[in-house]
Structure 1
């Protein structure tokens, strides 16, 4: 009897872990766009510090990210337990914020050709009167603030994906995603910021192949950063737009009607759906940015 109870418990644990793994996969898939932006933004935030301080800065931001998620996961579970109706509005707010931030980044790109942040980094590193330690701490705090916003969106998306599960399953899924996201993102960030060093080290080896590979890595590193930035911005519109579309039935039905009217393969329909959702994200971001700009001018805070 005791043996059968033990095996029944073991079977229940196995089923629970299967559910957690399946739901975690779905939640990670839905938050993939935000993860791409998280990776791009954090890689950009960390660049600009002295070479010998890059990895310590990445580690400091990663620890801050873990603290962020230690706050966000319990908060998300409390919302799910006591106010589940808040999940959809919070998702909508998060989606709107992603669209706003994406549109603002695009506008900044076109209106401010000169990278003022890069200029500030160069000045800080060259000016002997600038406190490098204080500059580094400021960058770490800024990166952790950015991480908090994106982590909140990831947790909110994950919570939406497991909203119907038990509280224990939700806790395990959110905790596993929080840990996987933090380790994965900051391991990649650490690798990206040291690409130049790896490339230089390879280029100084005796093998001709290693030298060519090293020079190629050094040459490709800046383009990788630019590509990550572009992909991250596009992902903000796709993810934010998809959240807004699914949260507004009228828009969702309109998008579904257009996709159905395409009448071709499922792959083409899927691509059309993604483009339409991204288009909604761009329009929503433009509207929100316009409202924010007008509000700032009315309050006398315009640039």
Structure 2
């Protein structure tokens, strides 16, 4: 009996160590995968404030909370089970899903660039007359959640593509859940802080003390510039990430020309710029990826808007 008890305890300790190692592996894999999604996360955080721009300040946080809940549902109830099933039964499909997401990001980014250059806008914006604010708010939330679904699918696909070290489906599921929750909290927590920055500034201007008032005026003055900057960053991130995904995807599918060319230029820049080579090389590849996305995106825009006469519906009420 003592021998059996000792053996049992030894087995339990082995299981416990194995479980602990698995948790460490999951955490490490989630961390690596999360870093790979940085570009899409930046895009998500940069785009989302546009959904509350121009609406009543009292409705900003409720709208963001509604979008946040929709994002959790997208990631945990729709995309997570689908990602696990794909990784178990059809892992070869992941690359095609990634490329579809890359094409969508390229299309969105190119469309925004065209609109900034004076092209036709698609969908109702806050610059238009809003006859029914409540209906417009619902449409804007629905549009934001649909956009979040696309971006979240891209985040989950990128994450899943980085989890090849995790052999068990439940390990991949936990890592995906960790990334999904962390990204959602980070993105929409940041968005909430950004959109309430002007309210914080106004509150500070009413407090005693020259420093508090000056800080408050600075925050209020900086808010419009920050939103413009975020919109610019979001567009760049869309193109950079979308183009990078397309380049890597074609390489994975055996079409190496464009991928090899861009990496060859990246290597040449790295070799010619000395101590700044790493950063400038990365910047070169990011710029070339954005250029690829811009070309692909413009083609998709042309086909959808000019050939098939398609565009954003009224629900996609983005503040372009």
Q: Is TM > 0.5 for Structure 1 vs Structure 2?
A: yes
Alignment of structure 1 residues 261-272 onto 2, 5 Å: 261-262=268-269, 263=271, 264-265=273-274, 267-272=276-281
What's the CA shift string for 1:143-193, capped at 9, x where partnerless? 111111111111111111113422122101111111111111111111111
Which is richer in helix?
A: 1
TM-score by length of structure 2 reads: 0.85
**Closer/same/farther in 2, CA of residues 290 and 113 from structure 1, 3 Å limit:** closer
Deviation at 1:244, TM superposition (A): 1.9
Who is 1:289 aligned against? 298
Who is 1:215 aligned against? 217
What's the CA shift string for 1:79-122, capped at 9, x where partnerless? 111100011111122112212211111111111599962312xx
* Residue among 81, 85, 88 paired with 1:81: 88
Alignment of structure 1 residues 228-267 onto 2, 5 Å: 228-247=230-249, 248=251, 249-262=256-269, 263=271, 264-265=273-274, 267=276
Alignment of structure 1 residues 1-303 onto 2, 5 Å: 1-69=7-75, 70-112=77-119, 117-120=125-128, 123-124=129-130, 130-166=131-167, 167-247=169-249, 248=251, 249-262=256-269, 263=271, 264-265=273-274, 267-294=276-303, 296-299=305-308
Q: CA RMSD in A?
A: 2.3
5+ residue gaps, structure 1? 125-129
Q: Which 10-residue stretch deviates more, 76-85 or 263-272?
A: 263-272
Task: Tell me if structure 2 keeps the 8 A contact 1:202–1:213.
Answer: yes
5+ residue gaps, structure 2? 1-6, 313-320
| Secondary structure in 2 matching 1:163 | coil
TM-score by length of structure 1 reads: 0.90
State the number of aligned residues.
Answer: 296
In the alignment, the residues of structure 1 paired with residue 60 and residue 310 of structure 2 have an alpha-carbon distance, to the nearest angstrom, of 35
Who is 1:127 aligned against? none
**Closer/same/farther in 2, CA of residues 35 and 291 from structure 1, 3 Å limit:** closer
4+ residue runs of structure 1 moved beyond 6 angstroms?
113-116
In the alignment, the residues of structure 2 paired with residue 230 and residue 93 of structure 1 have an alpha-carbon distance, to the nearest angstrom, of 23
Q: Which 10-residue stretch deviates more, 23-32 or 246-255?
A: 246-255
